[in-house]
Amino acid sequence: MIAFRRATQSITRRAYSSCAPSATRFSINGDRLWNDIHETAKWSAPSPGGVTRLCADENDKKVRDWFRDQVLALGASYKVNATGTQFAHFEGKDNSIPPIAMGSHLDTVATGGRFDGPLGVIGGLEVLRSMKEQNVKTNAPLVLINWTNEEGARFFPLLGSSAVYAGQSSVEQAHASISTDNSALTLGSELAKIGYVGDGPNYFDEYPISAHFEIHVEQHTDLEKANKPVGWVEGWQGMTWYNVVFHGDDGHANTKPMWGRRDTLAASAKLITELENLAYEKHGYTTTTGIHSHPFGSCNIQSKTKVIFCLMHKETEGLEEMGEEIVKRIKSIAEMRGLEYDLKRDIHLLPANFWPEAVDCVKRACGDKGIGSRTGTGHDSTMTTLKVPTAMVFVRAKDGISHSAKEWSSKEDCTEGALTLGKAVLNFDELLKQKVASSAG
């Protein structure tokens, strides 16, 4: 189980009401950004309009190779770590300061759109290109990061490499991540196949960063309703992933009387129905994200069924209550049906806020183009925030649709998002410079 702990160090918050001088002059090449988003979408399994680029598949290798070529052409020093994370490091004026990071992920879910998370990586790349062209040199070094297996789509658990970096998991655990299709493949075996098991750095302590900024599509409708292209993300709702395996009895599907059956699929159906009820009762969200039932065949009572589900709530108390309640109901279902079960809480992420000083840098970057919002899900930023000041830039998403080929943000909004990211980084760079100066003074 990954139980996330926030680092305690913090830098003092300072009050700035507008952007850093370098940020006010900064601009973005929206055509190039838009072109790269759609060009790289070709590395996908067939998925009309969308992108299906599962972690460590052949298309993921292609987009990773492209990323490597792009950052090398920009003059980065480039590294791949053991969990496949790609780091593109660019020197600043003062290289004694840990770099300010921009990062997200180029892998997608099975039914992915073109924006979650490529916008975060390609948006960061566009910031670096524009800075170079505009001769904007930061005081701190910068690093652009392509994290691995953020989605947990092909391998579970999710937030694969950023959880390791933030000290919440290990390289070994990440490599052992199991295949969601119940096959024997692991993240480690498949990363090795595409040649993306590198030397490091793997953990924060081996390569600290000063902060982490990420653009992401909103996946909700707050910006759309407010008619704003961008937003600053104040925090996230809490979420918990469980998996339960019910164990019953084998039996003949046609001849076994209803009484005395120990049918794990019927029990699982009851659980899935209860999960839906729970969302109503507790004013949260619940989703059953997978089911695997055995044995295969057309004449068997199902004797082993695995159900994977997640609970979401904006409040800690609500999330904890939902968790306690569903654990009780699983116990009741098993008792009423004479089943054994194994229950695991895989991930438990309480709702919380990003670092105020980092959020403030995004807020100032947004200016009157943005509003404050919250994310309903986990991101690589919800891992880096355990270590260093972290904040996110949201980009308006049509109808809030995500993890779907229908996911869409306009060229103008993506451009505004990348601009906001660049400005936020420059704002933070200014903040860091002041801090260094004040501690020197």
- Confirm or reject binding of residue 180 to its own copies (CB under 8 A): yes
- Confirm or reject binding of residue 117 to its own copies (CB under 8 A): no
- Confirm or reject binding of residue 405 to its own copies (CB under 8 A): yes
- Confirm or reject binding of residue 281 to its own copies (CB under 8 A): no
Tokens of 353: 């806020």
Residue 251, H or E segment: none
- Confirm or reject binding of residue 48 to its own copies (CB under 8 A): no
Helix, strand, or coil here: 423? helix
- Confirm or reject binding of residue 110 to its own copies (CB under 8 A): yes
Which of 49/195 has CB closer to its own copies? 49
- Confirm or reject binding of residue 303 to its own copies (CB under 8 A): yes
- DSSP class of residue 368 equals G
What lies within 8 Å, CB to CB, of 337 at 6+ separation is: 248, 262, 263, 266, 267
- DSSP class of residue 99 equals P
Helix, strand, or coil here: 143? strand
Using CB under 8 A, which residues numbered 349 to 368 contact its own copies? none
- DSSP class of residue 98 equals P
- Confirm or reject binding of residue 265 to its own copies (CB under 8 A): yes
The residues facing 72 across adjacent strands are none
- Closest alpha carbon to 237 in 78, 121, 394, 378: 378
- Confirm or reject binding of residue 393 to its own copies (CB under 8 A): no
Using CB under 8 A, which residues numbered 137 to 166 contact its own copies? 151-154, 156-158
Which of 186/404 has CB closer to its own copies? 404
Which of 65/315 has CB closer to its own copies? 315
Choices 8-16, 87-95, 123-131, 307-315 (CB under 8 A): range interacting with its own copies: 307-315
Tell me how far apart the alpha carbons of residues 157 and 139 are, in angstroms, rounded to a whole number.
36
Choices 223-231, 352-360, 395-403, 422-430 (CB under 8 A): range interacting with its own copies: 395-403
The residues facing 391 across adjacent strands are 213
- Confirm or reject binding of residue 377 to its own copies (CB under 8 A): yes
- Confirm or reject binding of residue 372 to its own copies (CB under 8 A): no
Residues in contact with its own copies, counted by CB under 8 A, come to a total of: 71
Tokens of 362: 């995004």
- Determine which residue in the list 201, 208, 372, 376 makes contact with its own copies, applying CB under 8 A: 376
Helix, strand, coil percentages (3-state) for the chain, rounded to 5, are 35, 25, 40
- Confirm or reject binding of residue 375 to its own copies (CB under 8 A): yes
Using CB under 8 A, which residues numbered 61 to 100 contact its own copies? none
Choices 71-79, 92-100, 165-173, 281-289 (CB under 8 A): range interacting with its own copies: 281-289
CB 122 within 8 A of CB 41: no
- Confirm or reject binding of residue 335 to its own copies (CB under 8 A): no
Using CB under 8 A, which residues numbered 283 to 302 contact its own copies? 285-291, 293-302
- Determine which residue in the list 63, 312, 392, 414 makes contact with its own copies, applying CB under 8 A: 312
- Determine which residue in the list 21, 135, 227, 252 makes contact with its own copies, applying CB under 8 A: 252
Using CB under 8 A, which residues numbered 12 to 41 contact its own copies? none
- Confirm or reject binding of residue 225 to its own copies (CB under 8 A): no
Choices 66-74, 132-140, 263-271, 408-416 (CB under 8 A): range interacting with its own copies: 263-271
Tell me how far apart the alpha carbons of residues 114 and 377 are, in angstroms, rounded to a whole number.
18
For residue 345, report the phi and psi dihedrals to the nearest 5 degrees. Answer: -95, 110
Q: Burial, 110: exposed, middle or buried (Cβ in 10 Å; 0-12, 13-18, 19+)? A: middle
Choices 9-17, 78-86, 166-174, 282-290 (CB under 8 A): range interacting with its own copies: 282-290
Tell me how far apart the alpha carbons of residues 109 and 55 are, in angstroms, rounded to a whole number.
8
Buried b / exposed e along 423-441 (16+ C-beta atoms within 10 A):
bbbbbbbbbbbebeeeeee
